């Protein structure tokens, strides 16, 4: 994932709080209540244990990541304009990767609704849908990406901190974002009154994230909705939202890179959406060729992974 996926509708810095937005925003009165199942008490959130992150990108960007350095896959930092109007902070964006078979437990909880659940609630871009951020994905284990981040920053693993970036509301997506940084990094934002504040460190959990007993190996994604559908005949009015959990790896300089040994990576491909993220609006949309992974690039990436694995 290169950057957040769509045009912002609203954002709340330093807090994971979708509930307040759902209650306050009149435009989402048609939305299914995220915290219940059609008005019936439901065991929400669904807790999914994740052990990997994924970074989707365009074909040409994937080639740059893979082959600008002979020893590493190098992920360049990007300045995110909605956040960085007053501060030069740079991030490399990754997303939680849902493990295979994640929905079996949820189906067991609601066997009578299994068919409906499959049709309506397992189809968001975070799970099965098209990729808005490009057709080629790099997958890295949680523990390994933290270790390589510390090395890329020339710091110790024990110095890594997680901070609550915020809750970002798009037309249908609700993205919970977490900053991965090093202790003593000064990362600030301006509140509604224009006061400069630092982001808060995460304790045990937030509305969307919880540490596990072995937090170096995995984490819990607290999931409320995977729903991304419209009422019949209303393509302009969504009747549901879908959740997204993202991690922004912070770097102090735009020339910094997150360097990952290829043997720690796996490659995943899927069809990208025709419409690019708003963060790349100057490209407007993808043509049919750009929507599909370039398998010449994919095969070269896999060859590099295999070569490093056998080295």
Containing H/E element for 141? strand 136-141
What are 18-30's pLDDT values in tens digits?
Answer: 766 655 554 444 3
Cis, peptide link before residue 45, omega less than 30° from 0: yes
Q: How far lies 97's CA from each of 34, 56, 59, 244, 278, in Å?
A: 21, 11, 20, 10, 22
Nearest CA among 149, 143, 70 for reference residue 308: 70
Instruction: Round the CA-based radius of gyration of the chain to a whole number and report it.
Output: 19
The residue ranges of the chain whose pLDDT is under 50 are: 2-8, 26-33, 35-41, 84, 230-234, 236-237, 280-282
* DSSP β-bridge partners for residue 244: 175
Confidence at residue 6, expressed as pLDDT on a 0 to 100 scale: 42
234-248 per-residue burial string, b: 16 or more CB within 10 A, e: under 16: eeeebbbbbbbbbbb
- C-alpha dist (Å) from residue 146 to 55, 99, 167, 289, 290: 14, 19, 22, 34, 31
pLDDT tens readout for residues 275-307 = 776 554 445 688 899 999 999 999 999 999 999
How long, in residues, is the chain?
A: 311
Q: Burial of 35 by CB count in 10 Å (0-12 exposed, 13-18 middle, 19+ buried)?
A: middle
259: left (phi over 0), alpha (psi -120 to 50) or beta: beta
How far apart CA 274 and CA 276 sit, in angstroms, is 6
Give 160's Cβ-side CA count (13 Å radius).
25
C-alpha span between 243 and 222 (Å, rounded): 9
Query: In Å, how far from its chain's centre is CA 167?
Result: 12
């Amino acid at each position: 994932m290169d950057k957040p996926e769509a045009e912002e509708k609203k954002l709340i810095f330093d807090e994971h709080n979708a509930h307040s937005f759902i209650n306050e925003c009149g435009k989402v009165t048609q939305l299914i209540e995220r915290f219940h199942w059609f008005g019936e008490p439901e065991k929400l959130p669904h807790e999914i244990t994740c052990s990997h992150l994924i970074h989707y990108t365009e074909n040409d960007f994937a080639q740059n990541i893979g082959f600008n350095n002979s020893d590493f896959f190098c992920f360049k930092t990007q300045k995110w304009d909605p956040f960085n109007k007053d501060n030069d902070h740079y991030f490399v964006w990754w997303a939680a990767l849902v493990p295979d078979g994640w929905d079996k437990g949820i189906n067991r909880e609601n066997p009578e609704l299994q068919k409906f659940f499959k049709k309506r609630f397992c189809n968001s871009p975070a799970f099965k849908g098209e990729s808005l951020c490009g057709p080629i994905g790099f997958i890295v284990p949680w523990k390994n990406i933290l270790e390589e981040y510390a090395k890329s920053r020339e710091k110790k693993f024990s110095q890594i901190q997680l901070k609550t970036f915020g809750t970002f509301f798009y037309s249908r997506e609700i993205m919970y974002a977490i900053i991965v940084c090093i202790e003593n990094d000064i990362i600030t934002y301006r509140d509604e009154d224009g006061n400069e504040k630092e982001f808060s460190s995460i304790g045990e959990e937030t509305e969307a994230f919880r540490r596990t007993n072995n937090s170096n190996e995995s984490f819990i994604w607290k999931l409320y909705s995977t729903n991304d559908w419209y009422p019949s005949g209303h393509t302009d009015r969504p009747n549901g939202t879908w959740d997204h959990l993202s991690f922004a790896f912070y770097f102090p300089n735009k020339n910094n890179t997150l360097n990952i040994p290829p043997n720690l990576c796996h490659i995943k491909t899927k069809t990208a959406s025709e419409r690019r993220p708003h963060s790349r609006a100057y490209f407007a949309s993808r043509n049919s060729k750009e929507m599909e992974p370039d398998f010449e690039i994919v095969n070269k990436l896999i060859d590099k992974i295999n070569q490093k694995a056998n080295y």
